[in-house]
Amino acid sequence: MRQYFVLFIFGIILAFSSCRTDFDTVASTGDLKFSKDTVYLDTVFKNIGSSTYQLKVYNRSKNDISIPIVQLKKGLNSKYRMTVDGMSGSNGKIFKDVTLLAKDSLYIFIETTADITDANPTDFLYTDEIQFDSGANLQEVALVTLIQDAVFLFPKQNADGTKEKIQIEGKDVDGFYLDENDPENGNELIFTKQKPYVIYGYAGVPENKTVTFETGTRVHFHANSGLYVGDKATLQINGTASTTEKLENEVIFEGDRLESLYSDIPGQWKSVIFANGSTNHSINHLTLKNAVIGLDFKNPLNAIEIKNTQIYNCVEYGILAQNAHINGENIVINYAGIASLSCVYGGNYSFTHCTFNNNWQNSSHFAVTLSNSLAGASPETNPLTQAAFNNCIIYGSSTNEFNLAKNTNAAFVYQLNNCLLKFGSTTNPDYQFKTDTEHYNNIILNENPKYYNVSKNQLNIDKTSAAFAKGNPAYIIPLDILGAVRTSPPDLGAYQSKDFPK
């Protein structure tokens, strides 16, 4: 009988507690605590939405409190927007009677989309404050965003509402051709450092035209966008050596998300595609990051010069070259899902003082792969007339970072001279690095180059590196990728060794 009575009392308590739909709260007294006193939203381009940023608000008191109002100081005109504990309030700007329990916290998530005209004209900062309560209990948290002006290039809208398209390898893709007489932008075939550029879709270089990127140019590609250098068209990248870590004289290709969160995320944009028949390309001091394929050469005409170029964080390849002729000096590539450098379907290649590394997080990638065939091509094989690697580093996180896909139906000519190479032991006759002097001379096998910080793509070396002073002076490039003078005998790879900061 007693146990029924206990259950009866418990049921009454449960019923009353479940019927309660509110909490007894007291008014906020202005003693809220915050995870930060200023929320800095990273730089954004005008009218492109930012990432979402977080502010945590704490109630350290023993009382459940009610905050009469949480709002943006600029009210409904603010370019910021918020959610407060999942609530959207009035257009994400104004929230009334926000409950915060004792010893508890709530989350505020903040975003912005602003135009350059909204920013302070002297420093291009757009600011506002989140206000908690008012009068004597008013507390504020500052919001700060740098708005960057840019030249926006994008496909036009057709009369039927569809987007302008161009053809790439027989397929229609969202894109447009750069116009040397554009009524708004002027000559779109000359990119300068006056403003950064943001490209939507594929920007195409018309037949028989040259696109030029001057020293210090910044180009940002939106998702699924890229650059297409068409038949008989030419690309010239004219970057120069920089004197600071800002790479002020480099030409930089990357995605259009400027927040630090996105600085090393692969696959933010597509590729720079060089069409079959494109010609006379020259690339100097280019830094390319976070693409699907960095430079994609599809049987271009004439020799291509690539010097002092860095390519990082590509989903598939850093450089994919199909039957191309490339002379490369001081190239650095790291992090690629398939291969940092892939030369397929033959061609003619010479790479000197290059660092081909691959620390992608799988075991099936390569730093360098060579082949003289291509499935589905006609004919399926094509001669590899030369693939020379001189004073290079070919390394990474896999057991084997060098791959030869040789078809005996076509020529396959290659030679590695004075290179540091990572490759596990094998009886395959193609990989006898110590005894096959026709293909390998002075190979340093499986010794650590001791990069400064490979995870941050800092592949510099110092005097403790196995690559230090192991180069052949016959292949020396006088200046390294940063413009430093090389000593003799030179170090292997793209960097002259230096002392790292303690």
Query: What confidence tens digit (pLDDT) does each residue in 373-405 have?
Result: 999 999 999 999 999 999 999 999 999 999 999
Token digits for 124? 């291009």
Q: Do 337 and 358 meet the contact criterion of CB atoms below 8 Å apart?
A: no
**Integer CA distances (angstroms), 384 to 391, 400, 413, 417, in order:** 21, 22, 6, 18
The fraction of the chain above a pLDDT of 70, given in percent, is 95
Whole-angstrom CA distances from 186 to 181, 183, 216 are 5, 6, 19
Measure the CA–CA gap between 331 and 392, rounded to whole angstroms: 10
Give residue 125's pLDDT. 93
What residues does each domain of the chain span? 26-148, 151-475
Residue 264: closest CA among 358, 340, 354, 335: 335
CATH for 26-148 (1.10.10.10, 2.60.40.10, 1.20.1530.20, 3.40.1210.10): 2.60.40.10
Percent of the chain's residues with pLDDT above 90 = 83
Residues β-bridged to residue 387? 349
CA dist 225 and 270 (Å) reads: 5
Query: How far is Cα 33 from Cα 278, in angstroms, rounded to an integer?
Result: 61
Tens digits of residue pLDDT in 306-332: 999 999 999 999 999 999 999 999 999
Q: Which residues of 356-371 are buried (b: 16+ CB within 10 A; e: fewer)?
A: bbbbbeeeebbbbbbb
Cα–Cα dist 41/260, whole Å? 10
| 2 three-state secondary structure | helix
pLDDT of residue 27: 82
For 6, the enclosing helix (H) or strand (E) is helix 2-19
DSSP 417-465: ES-EE-------GGG-TTT-TTTEES-EES-----SBGGGTB----TTS
d(C-alpha 44, C-alpha 124), whole Å = 11
Q: What is the pLDDT of residues 420-458, one digit of tens each?
A: 999 998 999 999 999 999 999 999 999 999 999 999 999
How many residues are recorded in the chain?
Answer: 502
Phi/psi at 236 (5° precision): -125, 120
Q: Does residue 293 register a pLDDT over 70?
A: yes
- pTM of the predicted model, to two decimals? 0.87
Summarize the chain as % helix, strand, coil (round to 5): 10, 45, 50
CA 147 to CA 26: how far, in whole Å? 40
